[in-house]
Structure 1
Amino acid sequence: MSPPFSQPHIEPSAKRIRVFFAGKYVVDTTRAKLVWLKPYYPYYFFDPADVPAQFLQPASKSADREQYDLIVGTRNAEYAVTKHLQGDLAGLMQIAFDAMDAWFEEDEEVFVYPKDPCKRVDVLQSSRHVRVVVNGVEVANSTKPRLLFETGIAVRTYIPKTDCRMDLLKPTDLTTVCPYKGVANYYSVALSTGEVLDNLVWWYRVPLAECADIKGYVAFYDEKVDTYFDGVLQARPGQK
């Protein structure tokens, strides 16, 4: 979670921000604003002068906002742009992050949402003895875990695949994206009883630079498994 400021909270961004859609940069500015509408991560907002009117077609209007379709050539991102008319956000425009093809901070692509300058991610090598048990079956046993500490998020334990029961891990088609770690692939756990726990494990084939040390390691959903550190059963995240 970001520092305890009220929402919306607005800060200038020192980064050059570019928004790519249908083969064009529809925004290219060094005057973007970081806006927290919720505690967990910010959005980028823009001065209307930095969102070219040639790409905008009015879609709807209310007392507090105007919405626009963003059109480039034959591509149309419906209701993708919102101009706020009242309150702290008055005069600022927001572009739906997932409606665009790509976003760049300077020359680095960012995913899902902007990186929060109030958050950090650390990966630390550990020699703690960790065991992961799924419905009574030990699926991982290691003294070489890497612990990922992310501000406001439960600590995640990444384990070498060589210390896991890879015979029980079955690849799935699921992928997810994290702005700090990159694209995750998933495994289901298939027990000898025939029980299958879908997408219980994830890993990063090519993690982003700040989390490079988790490359090839796997993490289990601690909320759904029993995890032991140095012989002590850990409370599942969210439990007291």
Structure 2
Amino acid sequence: MSVPFPSAGYTEDTIKRIRVLFGGEYIVDTRNSKLVWEHAYFPHYYFHKSDVPEKYLQNATKSDKSDTYDLVVANRKADAAVKLFTEGDLKDFVKISFDKADAWLEEDERIYYHPKDPYKRVDVLQSSRHVRVKIDGVEVANTTKPRLLFETGLRVRTYIPISDVHMELLTPAELTTGCPYKGVASYYDVNLPSGKKEGLVWWYRAPNLECAEIRGFLAFYDEKVDVFVDGKKVE
């Protein structure tokens, strides 16, 4: 499935107030940021260099099209956290690595992992489709009560009640991932006669409000398992 508009390289201004917190100070506080799609999946905030005080930028490393700086506030330093573009359409704009700041705020709401794409949405729908999941020929889930998560431009994900999953085959994994739409996911490994399959199952203990109905349900990494919907194998 191709990812719809916007595509990589698209930019647009945003009227939201954006703040970036690091080392106990707001190193950015602006209503003039840009959303920049470096790839088609989600955007990042870029700021004009006038909105990022030079006193926080140290140890420049220069290249042909950009300069890279350490982000420094008092005794806190984040290495190579800031990139200032010196050529091209984004000349004089600054990118701050999302995971190197302490917090990001849109207006007064904290955001996590990356900004949401304003052109994409997530819907969770109850379904009565008959879904079976097999791994290496072993059935690991069988349900007629799935919840289907539709996320613009991405594959539909099927979430299955824990009572319809062979939990005796699963063991908790240490892996976690985060999503600004859904929240923090925990994972299971699957233990089969053919061996352990790592990270094939995930679930959300406390999903974000827009995805609240998947709470406690399990999803399988469809691309790596065999899924049958109403008797037909999903390719």
TM-score bin, normalised by smaller chain: over 0.9
What is the aligned partner in structure 2 of residue 238 from structure 1? Answer: none
Residue-by-residue CA offset, 1:126-146 (whole Å, 9 max, x unaligned): 111111111121111111100
- Quote the offset at 1:81 in angstroms: 1.0
Partners in 1 of 2:100 and 2:22 — Cα distance?
Answer: 9
What is the aligned partner in structure 1 of residue 230 from structure 2? Answer: 230
Partners in 2 of 1:199 and 1:82 — Cα distance?
Answer: 34
| TM-score, normalising length: structure 1 | 0.92
What is the aligned partner in structure 2 of residue 216 from structure 1? Answer: 216
- Quote the offset at 1:199 in angstroms: 1.2
- Quote the offset at 1:2 in angstroms: 4.3
How many residues are matched? Answer: 233
What is the aligned partner in structure 2 of residue 30 from structure 1? Answer: 31
Runs of 4+ in 1 over 4 A off after TM superposition: none
Residue-by-residue CA offset, 1:44-73 (whole Å, 9 max, x unaligned): 100122112221114212332222111012
Identity of aligned pairs, percent? 56
- Quote the offset at 1:153 in angstroms: 0.9
Superposition pairs of residues 1-240 of structure 1, within 5 angstroms: 1-3=3-5, 5=7, 7-191=8-192, 193=193, 195-235=195-235
Kept after mapping to 2: 8 A contact 1:58/1:66: no
**Structure 2 CA distance for partners of 1:153 and 1:47, relative to 1, 3 Å:** same
Partners in 1 of 2:141 and 2:9 — Cα distance?
Answer: 43
Residue-by-residue CA offset, 1:69-101 (whole Å, 9 max, x unaligned): 110121111121111111110111111112112
Aligned-partner residue type, residue 5 of structure 2: P
Partners in 1 of 2:231 and 2:194 — Cα distance?
Answer: 28
Kept after mapping to 2: 8 A contact 1:176/1:183: yes
- Quote the offset at 1:25 in angstroms: 1.9
The 3-state SS of whatever aligns with 1:88 is coil
- Quote the offset at 1:34 in angstroms: 0.2
- Quote the offset at 1:154 in angstroms: 0.7
Query: How large is the RMSD of aligned CA atoms in angstroms?
Result: 1.5
The 3-state SS of whatever aligns with 1:89 is coil
Partners in 2 of 1:117 and 1:4 — Cα distance?
Answer: 10
- Quote the offset at 1:21 in angstroms: 1.5
Kept after mapping to 1: 8 A contact 2:6/2:37: no
Partners in 1 of 2:21 and 2:100 — Cα distance?
Answer: 10
Kept after mapping to 2: 8 A contact 1:77/1:99: yes
The 3-state SS of whatever aligns with 1:87 is coil
- Quote the offset at 1:160 in angstroms: 0.7
The 3-state SS of whatever aligns with 2:222 is coil
Stretches of structure 1 that go unaligned for 5 or more consecutive residues are 236-240
- Quote the offset at 1:10 in angstroms: 1.6
Partners in 2 of 1:63 and 1:197 — Cα distance?
Answer: 44
The 3-state SS of whatever aligns with 1:223 is helix
- Quote the offset at 1:28 in angstroms: 1.6
